[in-house]
Amino acid sequence: MSDTSLTIDNILAPELTLCRVPASSKKRVLETIAEQIHHQDEILSDTEIFSNLVSRERLGSTGIGQGIAIPHCRLEGLDRVIGVLMTLEESIDFDAIDNQPVDLVFALIVPKEATSEHLELLSQLAEKFNDNGFCEQLRQCQDAASLYQRMTAAS
């Protein structure tokens, strides 16, 4: 796996792109992420994914500001990078650095040993989400198909 081939559009699957997800809390968002990944690949433990995401959040919120969060963690035994994109039905408190509620979430689950890839993807995501117009386009999407298309078209 080389850094150059790892882009958002080859880690995000349409099945893991969710639009207007009802979520009442940060914990519920992380549970939904873990459940969706497990639903796509039953070998992966939703409990382990959730636990790793929560552990990472304890180190500091992955809410990067302006209504965006990029929860991420490493997972033992994973052989690829998995992305999950969600817009939330309503903004929720995510302990973001700017104290603003979050309604746009991109989760990243990476293999335990994938360090440079992990950082490169986080950098790509941060750059995309730094574009307010792009974020507004994502928020306007009414369904998962258009959300997936919007996220991957700009890659």
Q: Residue 123: what pLDDT?
A: 86
72 included as an active-site residue: yes
pLDDT tens digits, one per residue of 66-81: 999 999 999 998 999 9
DSSP state of 43: T
Distance, in Å, from the CA atom of 96 to the CA atom of 69, rounded to the nearest integer, reads 7
Report the CATH number of the 13-152 domain: 3.40.930.10
Note the pTM of the prediction, 2 decimals.
Answer: 0.92
pLDDT tens digits, one per residue of 119-135: 888 888 888 999 999 99
Place 3 in a pLDDT band, splitting at 50, 70 and 90: very low
Domain boundaries, the chain: 13-152
- Which of 38, 39, 72, 118 is catalytic? The answer is 72
Residue 1 has pLDDT above 50, yes or no: no
pLDDT tens digits, one per residue of 49-67: 999 999 999 999 999 999 9
- Averaged pLDDT for residues 32-57: 96
Pairing of strands 102-111, 82-92: antiparallel
Distance, in Å, from the CA atom of 107 to the CA atom of 69, rounded to the nearest integer, reads 8
State which amino acid sits at residue 109: I
